[in-house]
Amino acid sequence: MKFFYDTYALVEIHQGNPHYEPYKQGEVVLCQLNIIELIYHFVRSKEEAKEYLAYLSKLVVDIPSPIIWKAMQFKYEKKADDLSFADCIGYIYAQENGIKFLTGDRKFENLPGVEFVK
């Protein structure tokens, strides 16, 4: 199965969360902002960050302008939730492409098309 992984999911997989084990086998989609957030998370461990950057860069999809527009409308509508740009883009990309958005972020828990894993 194909999933758009948010940064939360990437961190949980890296940390060995067993609930994310089944998702290691699926097809992964990311945007560059997810990689930026993840590299920031690992910035103290430069070698590990470089390895992740090299590997994850292969999974990045181009985000068309109409998706960026819809994502920013979504972020504006949900501004009280203080969602990240990367999450909004990822969620709308997943919605527009008929794939699941994988996250453990409670702000997305009850939205359609979300695969919520803690």
CA dihedral 96, 102, 105, 108 (to 10 degrees): 30
Domain 2-116, classified CATH 3.40.30.10, yes or no: no
> Residue 107 pLDDT more than 90?
yes
Task: Quickly state the pLDDT bin for 46 (edges 50, 70, 90).
Answer: confident
Per-residue burial over 14-49, b = 16 or more CB atoms within 10 Å of its CB, e = otherwise: eeeeeebeebeeeebbbbebbbebbbeebeeeeeeb
> Residue 59 pLDDT more than 90?
yes
Give residue limits of the domains in the chain: 2-116
Mean pLDDT of 66-76: 98
Are the beta carbons of 30 and 36 closer than 8 angstroms? no
Mean pLDDT of 86-110: 97
Are the beta carbons of 9 and 23 closer than 8 angstroms? yes
